[in-house]
Amino acid sequence: MLNIALPKGRLGESVYTAFERAGFPCPSILENSRKLIFENAEADVRYFWVKPSDVAIYVERGAADVGVAGKDILLEYEPDVYELLDLGVGKCRMAVAAPKGWRDNPQHTLRVATKFSRIARGHYAAAGRDIDIIHLNGSIEIAPILGLSDVIVDIVETGTTLRENDLEVVETVVPISARLIANRSSFIFKTEQIDRLTRELARESGGEA
Ligand code: PRP
Protein backbone atom coordinates (compact mmCIF):
# COMPACT_ATOMS: atom_id res chain seq x y z
CA MET A 1 0.00 0.00 0.00
CA LEU A 2 1.28 3.46 -0.91
CA ASN A 3 1.09 5.97 1.98
CA ILE A 4 0.69 9.54 0.82
CA ALA A 5 0.95 12.66 3.04
CA LEU A 6 -0.95 15.63 1.63
CA PRO A 7 -0.83 19.22 2.93
CA LYS A 8 -4.12 20.14 4.62
CA GLY A 9 -5.98 22.96 2.88
CA ARG A 10 -6.86 24.17 -0.57
CA LEU A 11 -3.54 23.21 -2.16
CA GLY A 12 -3.84 19.67 -0.79
CA GLU A 13 -7.34 19.29 -2.17
CA SER A 14 -6.30 20.27 -5.69
CA VAL A 15 -3.23 18.04 -5.41
CA TYR A 16 -5.48 15.10 -4.41
CA THR A 17 -7.48 15.59 -7.62
CA ALA A 18 -4.24 15.28 -9.60
CA PHE A 19 -3.33 12.08 -7.72
CA GLU A 20 -6.78 10.70 -8.43
CA ARG A 21 -6.39 11.39 -12.14
CA ALA A 22 -2.94 9.77 -11.96
CA GLY A 23 -4.63 6.49 -10.97
CA PHE A 24 -4.60 6.69 -7.15
CA PRO A 25 -8.26 7.37 -6.30
CA CYS A 26 -9.67 7.43 -2.77
CA PRO A 27 -13.16 8.97 -3.04
CA SER A 28 -13.82 8.91 0.72
CA ILE A 29 -11.27 11.72 1.10
CA LEU A 30 -13.79 14.14 -0.42
CA GLU A 31 -16.33 13.48 2.33
CA ASN A 32 -16.56 16.53 4.49
CA SER A 33 -15.37 15.14 7.80
CA ARG A 34 -12.75 15.70 10.48
CA LYS A 35 -11.08 12.40 9.63
CA LEU A 36 -7.41 12.65 8.76
CA ILE A 37 -6.70 9.19 7.28
CA PHE A 38 -8.41 7.71 4.23
CA GLU A 39 -7.81 4.36 2.60
CA ASN A 40 -8.77 2.69 -0.67
CA ALA A 41 -7.66 -0.96 -0.45
CA GLU A 42 -8.66 -1.60 -4.05
CA ALA A 43 -6.32 1.09 -5.38
CA ASP A 44 -3.76 0.10 -2.73
CA VAL A 45 -3.46 3.64 -1.41
CA ARG A 46 -3.77 5.47 1.91
CA TYR A 47 -3.87 9.26 2.23
CA PHE A 48 -3.43 11.44 5.28
CA TRP A 49 -3.85 15.17 5.79
CA VAL A 50 -1.03 16.80 7.72
CA LYS A 51 0.08 20.36 8.41
CA PRO A 52 1.87 21.55 5.23
CA SER A 53 5.12 22.21 7.08
CA ASP A 54 5.03 18.66 8.55
CA VAL A 55 4.72 16.69 5.29
CA ALA A 56 8.49 16.40 4.87
CA ILE A 57 8.87 15.00 8.41
CA TYR A 58 6.38 12.19 7.73
CA VAL A 59 8.13 11.36 4.46
CA GLU A 60 11.68 11.61 5.81
CA ARG A 61 10.87 9.20 8.67
CA GLY A 62 8.95 6.78 6.45
CA ALA A 63 5.48 7.28 8.01
CA ALA A 64 4.55 8.32 4.47
CA ASP A 65 6.12 6.91 1.30
CA VAL A 66 5.49 10.07 -0.68
CA GLY A 67 4.07 13.53 -0.03
CA VAL A 68 3.68 17.03 -1.36
CA ALA A 69 5.74 19.80 0.21
CA GLY A 70 6.53 23.40 -0.71
CA LYS A 71 10.03 24.14 -1.98
CA ASP A 72 10.28 26.68 0.88
CA ILE A 73 10.06 23.85 3.44
CA LEU A 74 12.57 21.72 1.51
CA LEU A 75 15.08 24.58 1.36
CA GLU A 76 14.59 25.55 4.99
CA TYR A 77 14.70 22.13 6.65
CA GLU A 78 16.70 20.17 4.06
CA PRO A 79 14.92 16.88 4.85
CA ASP A 80 16.67 13.72 3.68
CA VAL A 81 14.14 12.82 0.94
CA TYR A 82 14.06 12.50 -2.83
CA GLU A 83 12.51 15.44 -4.67
CA LEU A 84 10.83 13.79 -7.65
CA LEU A 85 8.72 16.40 -9.41
CA ASP A 86 7.81 20.07 -9.58
CA LEU A 87 4.01 19.90 -9.58
CA GLY A 88 3.71 23.43 -10.94
CA VAL A 89 1.08 24.40 -8.35
CA GLY A 90 1.23 26.42 -5.13
CA LYS A 91 3.39 28.92 -6.96
CA CYS A 92 4.70 31.90 -5.00
CA ARG A 93 8.10 33.37 -4.18
CA MET A 94 10.37 33.85 -1.20
CA ALA A 95 11.17 37.54 -1.07
CA VAL A 96 12.83 40.27 0.96
CA ALA A 97 10.30 42.99 1.80
CA ALA A 98 10.53 46.29 3.66
CA PRO A 99 8.45 49.40 4.42
CA LYS A 100 7.80 51.42 1.25
CA GLY A 101 10.75 53.62 0.32
CA TRP A 102 13.18 51.83 2.67
CA ARG A 103 16.86 52.04 1.66
CA ASP A 104 19.56 49.71 2.99
CA ASN A 105 22.42 51.21 4.97
CA PRO A 106 25.38 48.86 4.41
CA GLN A 107 27.20 50.37 7.44
CA HIS A 108 24.69 48.74 9.78
CA THR A 109 23.97 45.09 10.49
CA LEU A 110 20.68 44.33 8.75
CA ARG A 111 17.94 43.05 11.07
CA VAL A 112 15.94 40.36 9.25
CA ALA A 113 12.69 38.93 10.66
CA THR A 114 11.67 35.57 9.22
CA LYS A 115 10.28 32.09 9.69
CA PHE A 116 12.89 30.93 7.17
CA SER A 117 16.19 31.50 8.98
CA ARG A 118 18.29 29.12 6.89
CA ILE A 119 17.05 30.54 3.58
CA ALA A 120 17.59 34.12 4.80
CA ARG A 121 21.09 33.33 6.11
CA GLY A 122 22.07 31.67 2.84
CA HIS A 123 20.74 34.55 0.80
CA TYR A 124 22.67 37.24 2.69
CA ALA A 125 25.83 35.11 3.09
CA ALA A 126 25.97 34.87 -0.71
CA ALA A 127 25.75 38.67 -0.88
CA GLY A 128 28.37 39.08 1.88
CA ARG A 129 25.93 41.14 3.96
CA ASP A 130 26.08 41.11 7.78
CA ILE A 131 22.69 40.31 9.26
CA ASP A 132 20.98 39.64 12.55
CA ILE A 133 18.21 37.04 12.23
CA ILE A 134 15.06 37.52 14.30
CA HIS A 135 13.24 34.21 14.11
CA LEU A 136 9.43 34.56 14.27
CA ASN A 137 6.66 32.00 13.76
CA GLY A 138 4.06 34.02 11.85
CA SER A 139 2.63 37.49 11.10
CA ILE A 140 6.16 38.41 10.05
CA GLU A 141 4.92 41.56 8.30
CA ILE A 142 4.42 43.30 11.63
CA ALA A 143 8.13 43.20 12.55
CA PRO A 144 9.40 46.14 10.42
CA ILE A 145 6.28 48.19 11.18
CA LEU A 146 7.03 48.00 14.91
CA GLY A 147 10.77 48.54 14.43
CA LEU A 148 11.65 44.98 15.46
CA SER A 149 13.46 44.45 12.14
CA ASP A 150 14.56 46.39 9.05
CA VAL A 151 13.29 43.84 6.53
CA ILE A 152 11.48 40.50 6.38
CA VAL A 153 12.15 37.37 4.36
CA ASP A 154 8.80 35.70 3.71
CA ILE A 155 6.47 34.06 1.21
CA VAL A 156 4.72 36.44 -1.18
CA GLU A 157 1.86 35.04 -3.20
CA THR A 158 -0.63 37.69 -4.31
CA GLY A 159 1.21 40.54 -2.55
CA THR A 160 -1.96 41.51 -0.68
CA THR A 161 -0.49 41.07 2.81
CA LEU A 162 2.46 43.32 1.94
CA ARG A 163 0.25 45.98 0.32
CA GLU A 164 -2.15 46.07 3.24
CA ASN A 165 0.75 46.64 5.63
CA ASP A 166 2.52 49.29 3.50
CA LEU A 167 5.41 47.01 2.67
CA GLU A 168 6.95 46.27 -0.72
CA VAL A 169 9.20 43.62 -2.25
CA VAL A 170 12.88 44.63 -2.25
CA GLU A 171 14.13 41.51 -4.05
CA THR A 172 13.11 37.96 -4.86
CA VAL A 173 15.13 35.28 -3.08
CA VAL A 174 13.80 32.17 -4.83
CA PRO A 175 10.66 31.05 -6.69
CA ILE A 176 8.58 28.47 -4.80
CA SER A 177 6.17 25.72 -5.88
CA ALA A 178 4.84 22.39 -4.59
CA ARG A 179 7.09 19.34 -5.03
CA LEU A 180 6.43 15.58 -4.98
CA ILE A 181 8.86 14.03 -2.49
CA ALA A 182 9.60 10.40 -1.58
CA ASN A 183 11.10 8.53 1.33
CA ARG A 184 14.50 7.11 0.31
CA SER A 185 13.80 3.45 1.19
CA SER A 186 10.20 3.54 -0.08
CA PHE A 187 11.65 4.68 -3.37
CA ILE A 188 13.60 1.43 -3.52
CA PHE A 189 10.91 -0.93 -2.20
CA LYS A 190 7.88 0.65 -3.91
CA THR A 191 9.65 1.76 -7.08
CA GLU A 192 6.96 0.66 -9.47
CA GLN A 193 4.08 2.51 -7.76
CA ILE A 194 6.14 5.64 -7.12
CA ASP A 195 7.44 5.67 -10.70
CA ARG A 196 3.94 5.33 -12.07
CA LEU A 197 2.66 8.12 -9.82
CA THR A 198 5.56 10.42 -10.80
CA ARG A 199 5.13 9.73 -14.52
CA GLU A 200 1.38 10.27 -14.51
CA LEU A 201 1.62 13.45 -12.43
CA ALA A 202 4.39 14.77 -14.67
CA ARG A 203 2.22 14.09 -17.72
CA GLU A 204 -0.75 16.01 -16.45
CA SER A 205 1.06 18.85 -14.69
CA GLY A 206 3.57 19.39 -17.47
CA GLY A 207 6.01 19.50 -14.55
CA GLU A 208 9.67 18.55 -14.58
CA ALA A 209 10.50 15.08 -13.20
C1 PRP B 1 1.81 33.58 4.14
C2 PRP B 1 2.99 34.51 4.19
C3 PRP B 1 2.36 35.88 4.02
C4 PRP B 1 1.16 35.57 3.12
C5 PRP B 1 1.47 35.99 1.72
O6 PRP B 1 1.23 33.57 5.38
O7 PRP B 1 3.70 34.39 5.41
O8 PRP B 1 1.96 36.39 5.24
O9 PRP B 1 0.93 34.17 3.17
O10 PRP B 1 0.36 35.84 0.87
P11 PRP B 1 -0.15 37.02 -0.06
O12 PRP B 1 1.04 37.59 -0.81
O13 PRP B 1 -1.13 36.35 -1.01
O14 PRP B 1 -0.81 38.04 0.80
P15 PRP B 1 0.40 32.37 5.95
O16 PRP B 1 -1.02 32.51 5.52
O17 PRP B 1 1.06 31.10 5.59
O18 PRP B 1 0.48 32.66 7.52
P19 PRP B 1 1.69 32.99 8.51
O20 PRP B 1 2.99 33.09 7.75
O21 PRP B 1 1.33 34.29 9.15
O22 PRP B 1 1.70 31.85 9.46
Q: What pLDDT, on the 0 to 100 scale, is given for residue 30?
A: 86
Q: What pLDDT, on the 0 to 100 scale, is given for residue 207?
A: 54
pLDDT at 120 over 90: yes
Ligand 1 centre and the CA of 200: distance in Å?
31
Is the CB–ligand 1 distance for residue 137 below 6 Å?
A: no
Q: Which of 100, 67, 103, 116 is nearest to 166 (CA)?
A: 100
DSSP characters for 162-196?
A: HHHTTEEEEEEEEEE-EEEEE-HHHHHHTHHHHHH
Q: What pLDDT, on the 0 to 100 scale, is given for residue 33?
A: 81
Q: What pLDDT, on the 0 to 100 scale, is given for residue 208?
A: 56
Is the CB–ligand 1 distance for residue 158 below 6 Å?
A: yes
Going by CA atoms, what residue is nearest to atom 2 of ligand 1?
A: 155
Q: What pLDDT, on the 0 to 100 scale, is given for residue 201?
A: 96
Is the CB–ligand 1 distance for residue 160 below 6 Å?
A: yes
* Residue 91 half-sphere exposure toward CB, CA atoms < 13 A: 6
Q: How far apart are CA 111 and CA 6, in angstroms?
A: 35
**Mean pLDDT across the stretch 135-161?**
97
pLDDT at 42 over 70: yes
DSSP characters for 79-102?
A: -S-EEEEE-S-S-EEEEEEEETT-
Ligand 1 centre and the CA of 178: distance in Å?
16
pLDDT at 198 over 70: yes
Ligand 1 centre and the CA of 61: distance in Å?
27
Which among 136, 155, 173 is the best mutation to test ligand 1's pocket, defined by most ligand atoms within 8 Å of the CB?
A: 155
